[in-house]
C-alpha cells in the first residue's frame, strides 16, 4: 500500500505544464467551455499545472482553482456573433506569461483569434501542439450567421482556414468517429487524429434544487440550446406546430438565450403556438442541472445540424429523456435501431412530429428509450476521458524527446 506522501511524489514527478488557448471560456455555457473546464479541472486535481489564455470578463477574473492560472486578454465583439469575443493581439502579455510558465504541451480549443497568440510559440520552441475539433466552421449552418451560405468558394475558404491548424498539429482530437472521418475526408492525416469524447460532468446537488416548472401539469417537450439561426429553430417550431395540432395540451419548454430570441417569439405568435411555449431564457448551468426541468419534461427535440458533439442532448439523455433529432452524419454512431433516439431528415417536418407523438403517446416506449438513454451516457465519464487525454499528452512528450524547451527572452514593445 502506497503512503499519501509516496503518491504525492509520484504524481508530482509525472506532472505537466499545459498551456490552454480558447476564445470561449467561463462563465459561458457551451460544449467548448464545458469540455475545456472539465478537463483542466480534472488535470489540475492530478497535480498538472494549467495556464489558460482567454478573453477577459468580470467573472473569469475571479475564477479560482488549484493549479490553474487564468491569463485574460482584451477583446472586441465579433460582428457575426454578438456574444463571440475576438481577442486583441497583446503579444507582450502573452509572451511574458508563456515564457515564465514554460509549458510542456499547448492545447488549442478554438481556431479563431486566440490562436495567433499561441502561434508564436508552437513550432518555434518545439512544444507539442494539440487541437480539439469542436466546431465545423465550414458548415453551411454556421456560414448562415455571416450570410455567406450557399457560396461554394466561401465554404472552401473556411475549410482551408480550418485545416491550416489541424494539418500541422502534433495531435488532433475529435469528439466522435464521424467527425474524425470528416477531417480525414478533408486531408487531415488519419494517424494524427484521435477520438476523445467530450466529458459529461453532471454534479447533482439536491440541496440547491431549483423549481422552474412547478405549475406545469401536462406533457412537455424540451429544447436546451442557443437561440440562433444555425440551430434551425424555424423547422423545430414547425415540428411543434404539427404536434400541437394533434395534442394541444403539450407544452414546448425552451431554455437559453441568443440573437434570435425576439425572432422566436414573433414566429411562435405567427404560427399560433405562443400559448403552448414556455420560454425560460438563460439559466445558470448548475441551476439547470439541479432543477425540475428534466424531470418535468417528457422528451427532447432539436433540429440543429451544426454540432460535432452535443452537450445538452447528452445531459437530457443522462436524465432519461428520449430525443428526436435530424438525420446528420455525426449521429450514425449514436443511434442504433432506434434504441435511444429517433431521427429523420431535416426537411421531414411531418416525420419528426410523428416520432415525437409516438413517444408522447406510448408510455412503455418512453420508459424503454429513457433507460437506454441513461445507459448510453456512461461512456462520457470525465475521469475515464481525462485518463485518455493525460495519456495523449504523455505520448506526445515522449515522441518529441526535446533536448530543451527553455524559451529565450524576446524584446517586445508593450502597448
C-alpha cell at 225: 440550446
Gap between the Cα atoms of 407 and 30, Å rounded:
34
pLDDT score at 60: 79
pLDDT score at 79: 55
Strands 220-224 and 251-255: parallel
Read off the pLDDT of residues 43-65 as tens digits, 9 standing for 90 and up.
999 999 999 988 887 777 788 89
Which CA distances in Å does 263 have to 1, 83, 205, 259? Answer: 62, 17, 35, 8
Q: Global pTM?
A: 0.76
pLDDT score at 284: 84
Gap between the Cα atoms of 407 and 197, Å rounded:
33
C-alpha cell at 144: 448562415
Cα 374 off chain centre by: 20
Query: Considering Cα of 177, then 326, then 359, then 199, what sign does the dihedral take?
Result: positive
pLDDT score at 154: 59
pLDDT score at 109: 84
Three-state DSSP state, 392 = helix
Write the CB contacts of 312 (distance below 8 Å, at least 6 apart in sequence): 224, 225, 300, 302
Strands 105-108 and 129-132: parallel
> Helices marked H in 91-230 — which ranges?
91-101, 115-119, 140-143, 152-168, 177-185
Write the CB contacts of 181 (distance below 8 Å, at least 6 apart in sequence): none
Distance from first CA to last CA of the chain, Å, rounded? 55
Gap between the Cα atoms of 71 and 60, Å rounded:
9
pLDDT score at 158: 62
pLDDT score at 341: 83
Which parts of the chain have pLDDT scores under 50?
Answer: 2, 5-10, 402-405, 408, 410-415
- Extended strands (E) in 109-227: 129-132, 171-174, 193-195, 220-224
pLDDT score at 286: 85
Nearest-10 Cα torsion for 283, 289, 293, 299: 120
Amino acid at each position: 500500500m502506497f503512503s499519501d506522501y509516496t503518491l504525492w511524489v509520484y504524481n508530482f514527478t509525472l506532472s505537466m505544464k499545459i498551456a490552454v488557448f480558447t476564445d470561449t471560456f467561463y462563465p459561458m455555457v457551451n460544449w467548448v467551455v464545458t469540455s475545456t473546464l472539465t478537463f483542466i479541472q480534472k488535470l489540475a486535481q492530478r497535480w498538472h499545472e494549467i495556464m489558460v489564455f482567454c478573453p477577459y470578463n468580470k467573472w473569469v477574473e475571479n475564477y479560482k482553482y488549484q493549479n490553474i492560472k487564468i491569463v485574460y486578454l482584451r477583446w472586441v465583439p465579433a460582428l457575426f456573433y454578438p456574444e463571440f469575443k475576438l481577442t486583441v493581439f497583446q503579444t507582450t502579455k502573452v509572451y511574458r506569461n508563456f515564457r515564465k510558465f514554460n509549458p510542456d504541451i499547448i492545447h488549442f480549443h478554438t481556431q479563431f483569434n486566440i490562436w495567433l497568440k499561441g502561434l508564436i510559440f508552437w513550432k518555434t520552441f518545439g512544444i507539442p501542439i494539440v487541437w480539439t475539433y469542436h466546431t465545423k466552421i465550414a458548415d453551411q449552418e454556421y456560414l448562415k450567421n455571416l450570410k455567406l451560405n450557399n457560396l461554394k468558394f466561401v465554404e472552401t475558404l473556411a475549410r482551408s482556414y480550418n485545416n491550416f491548424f489541424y494539418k500541422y498539429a502534433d495531435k488532433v482530437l475529435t469528439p466522435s468517429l464521424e467527425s474524425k472521418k470528416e477531417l480525414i475526408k478533408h486531408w487531415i492525416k488519419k494517424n494524427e487524429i484521435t477520438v476523445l469524447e467530450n466529458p459529461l460532468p453532471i454534479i447533482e446537488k439536491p440541496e440547491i434544487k431549483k423549481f422552474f416548472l412547478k405549475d406545469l401539469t401536462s406533457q412537455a417537450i424540451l429544447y436546451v440550446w442557443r437561440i440562433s439561426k444555425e440551430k434551425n429553430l424555424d423547422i423545430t417550431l414547425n415540428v411543434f406546430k404539427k404536434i400541437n395540432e394533434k395534442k394541444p395540451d403539450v407544452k414546448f419548454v425552451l431554455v437559453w438565450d441568443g440573437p434570435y430570441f425576439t425572432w422566436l417569439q414573433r414566429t411562435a405568435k405567427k404560427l399560433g403556438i405562443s400559448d403552448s411555449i414556455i420560454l425560460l431564457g438563460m439559466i445558470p448551468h448548475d441551476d439547470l442541472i439541479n432543477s425540475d426541468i428534466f424531470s418535468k419534461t417528457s422528451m427532447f427535440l432539436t433540429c440543429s445540424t451544426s454540432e460535432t458533439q452535443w452537450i445538452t442532448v447528452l445531459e437530457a439523455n443522462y436524465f432519461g429523456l428520449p430525443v428526436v433529432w435530424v438525420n446528420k452524419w455525426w449521429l450514425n454512431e449514436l443511434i442504433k435501431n432506434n434504441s435511444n433516439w429517433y431521427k429523420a431528415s431535416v426537411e421531414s417536418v411531418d416525420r419528426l412530429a410523428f416520432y415525437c407523438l409516438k413517444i408522447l403517446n406510448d408510455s412503455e416506449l418512453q420508459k424503454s428509450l429513457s433507460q437506454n438513454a441513461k445507459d448510453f451516457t456512461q461512456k462520457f465519464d470525465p475521469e475515464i476521458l481525462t485518463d485518455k487525454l493525460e495519456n495523449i499528452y504523455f505520448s506526445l512528450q515522449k515522441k518529441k524527446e526535446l533536448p530543451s524547451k527553455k524559451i529565450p527572452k524576446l524584446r517586445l514593445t508593450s502597448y
